[in-house]
């Protein structure tokens, strides 16, 4: 038997990951690794971050899935320091396409891929790159919170998150594109979600853009928000920014703040533009109804960027059901993904 590190030389990195020594940390929703395997035996060892183990909170464990030749063979919350899954065990060499995806968001969960255990003659090679890259910046809607839970009154849990069922990853799949997510439940531009109208300055996204992401957990004692991420290195062709839904909870209670939101939104979009000068940027909002939509669309339209477009999703009505805490259902995400993919085909491709 031999160990093969699942690092960029051996696998195709998907989304925002962080290789360190012989391990690959999965940071953002939808992050993971994709590769071809040829050999007789393959076992994957995946762990959660030690901070989650110390806290003992089930809601903070990472949720992952593993596909072999397009079929899910593992889908679970990782609540151990290391857990090993046998993916192939044959008396003759087989070839399989392996895809590992972190379904839960960075704020509450980090996962780590340890070196794969294989037979001595096995070979692992990176999956081919896709021809188009998309970056999605957003909140709980973008990272697929609640899509795997139909209880409208559930408490937050990463077990209800599934980035692969979010409109973001679905629309990228429809377009044959690679999807990279930077998304946080409850986060906004000037205020995160607030139930009483008090500004929630803890959960604002712009200060963390430019790092691999905010997290309550750490990587060997280092916070992800202290580790830089170079968007230009990823070089997205299309950037979808779906922010403002959580700001609405603050702005409707402090209506003078709509103007502050508009100004801050413009500053953030300009920051995004500086990180990706050649990308098409789509400023979007919707699915969950919000008064910030009109302010956002107007602010974006007035930026004067010829490679910036605005798009408004159809608002959910409940006819397609709800996920956790009135979040979009799986069918609503599919509908939204089709809307966005159609808009991109008509206006960009």
CATH number assigned to the domain comprising residue 44: 2.60.120.260
Which of 126, 141, 165 is the endpoint of a domain? Answer: 126
Mean pLDDT, rounded, of the chain: 95
- Please report, to the nearest 10 degrees, the dihedral formed by the alpha carbons of residues 205, 207, 211, 214 taken in order: -50
Which of 94, 126, 158 is the endpoint of a domain? Answer: 126
Do 265 and 179 belong together in one domain? yes
Do 140 and 258 belong together in one domain? yes
**CB contact set of 17 (below 8 Å; sequence gap of 6+):** 24, 25, 26, 27, 31, 32, 33
CA–CA gap between residue 244 and residue 10 (Å, rounded): 38
Span 220-274, pLDDT tens digits: 999 999 999 999 889 999 999 999 999 999 999 999 999 999 999 999 999 999 9
Do 139 and 178 belong together in one domain? yes
Radius of gyration of the chain (CA): 20
pLDDT of residue 233: 87
pLDDT of residue 56: 61
Domain count for the chain: 2
Do 178 and 299 belong together in one domain? yes
Do 193 and 96 belong together in one domain? no
Return the DSSP state at 128.
P
- Proportion of the chain above pLDDT 90, given as a percent: 89
Do 108 and 139 belong together in one domain? no
Of 63, 70, 56, residue with least CA distance to 29: 63
pLDDT of residue 253: 97
Backbone φ and ψ of 325, nearest 5°: 50, 45
Do 37 and 167 belong together in one domain? no
Which of 126, 161, 194 is the endpoint of a domain? Answer: 126
Do 234 and 112 belong together in one domain? no
| Burial (CB count within 10 angstroms: exposed 0-12, middle 13-18, buried 19+), residue 222 | exposed
Do 199 and 230 belong together in one domain? yes
pLDDT of residue 151: 77
CA–CA gap between residue 96 and residue 123 (Å, rounded): 11
Do 40 and 10 belong together in one domain? yes
Do 175 and 218 belong together in one domain? yes
Which residue range(s) make up the domain with 164?
132-347
Report, as an integer, the average pLDDT of 286-308: 94
267: left (phi over 0), alpha (psi -120 to 50) or beta: alpha
Span 138-195, pLDDT tens digits: 999 999 999 999 777 788 889 899 999 999 999 999 999 999 999 999 999 999 999 9
Span 83-133, pLDDT tens digits: 999 999 999 999 999 999 999 999 999 999 999 999 999 999 999 999 999
**Alpha helix locations (H) across 109-230?**
140-143, 167-174
pLDDT of residue 96: 98
Span 143-155, pLDDT tens digits: 999 999 977 778 8
């Amino acid at each position: 038997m031999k160990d093969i590190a699942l690092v960029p030389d051996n696998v195709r990195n998907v989304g925002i990951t962080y290789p360190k020594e012989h391990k690959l940390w999965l940071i953002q929703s939808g992050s993971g690794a994709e590769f071809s395997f040829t050999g007789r035996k393959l076992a994957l060892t995946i762990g959660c971050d030690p901070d989650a183990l110390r806290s003992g909170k089930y809601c903070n464990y990472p949720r992952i899935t593993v596909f072999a030749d397009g079929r899910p063979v593992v889908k679970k919350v990782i609540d151990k320091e290391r857990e090993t899954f046998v993916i192939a065990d044959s008396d003759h060499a087989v070839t399989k396409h392996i895809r590992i995806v972190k379904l839960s968001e960075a704020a509450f969960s980090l996962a780590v891929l340890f070196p794969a255990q294989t037979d001595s003659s096995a070979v692992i090679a990176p999956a081919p790159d896709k021809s188009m890259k998309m970056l999605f910046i957003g909140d709980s809607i973008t990272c697929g919170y609640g899509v795997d839970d139909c209880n409208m009154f559930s408490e937050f849990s990463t077990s209800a998150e599934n980035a692969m069922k979010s409109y973001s990853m679905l629309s990228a799949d429809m377009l044959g594109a690679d999807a990279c997510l930077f998304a946080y439940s409850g986060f906004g531009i000037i205020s995160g979600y607030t139930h009483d109208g008090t500004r929630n300055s803890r959960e604002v996204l712009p200060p963390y853009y430019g790092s691999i992401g905010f997290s309550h957990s750490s990587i060997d004692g280092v916070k992800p928000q202290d580790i830089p991420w170079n968007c230009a290195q990823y070089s997205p062709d299309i950037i979808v920014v779906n922010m403002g839904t959580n700001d609405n909870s603050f702005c409707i209670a402090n209506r003078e703040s709509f103007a502050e939101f508009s100004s801050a939104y413009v500053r953030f979009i300009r920051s995004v533009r500086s990180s990706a000068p050649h990308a098409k940027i789509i400023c979007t909002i919707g699915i969950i109804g919000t008064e910030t939509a009109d302010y956002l669309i107007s602010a974006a339209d007035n930026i004067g960027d010829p490679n910036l477009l605005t798009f408004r999703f159809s608002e959910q009505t409940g006819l397609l059901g709800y996920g956790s805490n009135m979040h979009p259902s799986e069918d609503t995400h599919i509908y939204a993904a089709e809307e966005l993919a159609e808009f991109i085909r008509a206006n960009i491709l």
